[in-house]
Amino acid sequence: GAVVSQHPSRVICKSGTSVKIECRSLDFQATTMFWYRQFPKQSLMLMATSNEGSKATYEQGVEKDKFLINHASLTLSTLTVTSAHPEDSSFYICSARASGYDGYTFGSGTRLTVV
Amino acid sequence: GDSVTQMEGPVTLSEEAFLTINCTYTATGYPSLFWYVQYPGEGLQLLLKATKADDKGSNKGFEATYRKETTSFHLEKGSVQVSDSAVYFCALSPYSGAGSYQLTFGKGTKLSVIP
């Protein structure tokens, strides 16, 4: 079945640095990628939606200059958390959808801790 | 806007007990409904889904029926196992079919099954 590989699974970074999270679709072309953030004991909150080759559409309240999303190819999307702060510590999950496919495939998530 | 409400956990059951996790939704039109499962340290996996009223989704002994009259999609399993311990998310997509529509999630219900 469809697989999305997300890396890294865990990352600890210093406040003020940037962190890049990658999601790769291994056996299908991800025309749309969704990026979610999950706080402890909370649900997944959609941050942005990106279509291959287009600019991402961000949800209200999500800073597009802080959370940079690139979806340059049909198999790779990246989320870069710029100038990270402790309040950015969270679990980030990507979800991919292929054109013509009625399903969503999730990555395994990235636990970001900013110290 | 669309929303999903599911029972808050945690839920602790003995092995072989009956499981029900309630889920109700608010949406316009005819959404698709999903249950996802998240095992510790992993991403979300699709457990089952239903795309129209009265459909029953089933997988691994779990079932849920799309009830439009009560706007519900309750998850049930007749006999839980320790390996079912996970967080369960109810979710909806605003439309059926193969489009790139975002998922709206409930807050998740943590299930712990003890031997």
Q: In DSSP terms, which residues pair with A111 in a beta bridge?
A: A10, A91
Whether the pLDDT of residue A32 is over 60: the answer is: yes
Residues of B in contact with A77 (CB under 8 A): none
Tokens of B84: 């079912």
Phi/psi of residue B33, nearest 5 degrees:
-120, 145
Please give the pLDDT value at position B92: 92
CA distance B19 to B13: 8
Please give the pLDDT value at position A27: 84
Please give the pLDDT value at position B109: 94
CA distance A76 to A91: 19
CA distance A100 to chain B (A): 5
Q: Which of B37-41, B69-73, B103-107 shows the lowest mean pLDDT across its residues?
A: B37-41
Whether the pLDDT of residue B72 is over 90: the answer is: yes
Q: Inter-chain contact B44–A106, Cβ cutoff 8 Å? A: yes
B69 pLDDT band, cuts 50/70/90, is very high
Whether the pLDDT of residue B83 is over 90: the answer is: yes
Please give the pLDDT value at position A41: 72
Chain B contact for A106 (CB, 8 A cutoff): yes
Whether the pLDDT of residue B111 is over 70: the answer is: yes
Tokens of B44: 């979300």
Q: What angle do CA A71, B3, B52 make, to 5 degrees?
A: 90
**Strand B109-114 versus strand B11-14 pairing type:** parallel
CA distance A35 to A90: 13
CA distance A82 to A85: 9
Tokens of A41: 């004991």
Q: Inter-chain contact A49–B108, Cβ cutoff 8 Å? A: no
Phi/psi of residue A90, nearest 5 degrees:
-175, 180
Answer yes or no: are the C-beta atoms of A30 and A87 closer than 8 Å.
no
Long-range CB pairs of A66-73 (<8 Å, 24+ gap) are A67/A35, A69/A33, A69/A35, A71/A33
Q: Inter-chain contact B43–A107, Cβ cutoff 8 Å? A: yes
CA distance A46 to chain B (A): 8
Please give the pLDDT value at position A10: 95
Instruction: Find which of A32-41, A57-66, A100-109 is predicted with most confidence, using mean pLDDT.
Output: A57-66
Whether the pLDDT of residue A97 is over 90: the answer is: no
Average pLDDT (A38-42) is 79
Amino acid at the residue A53: G
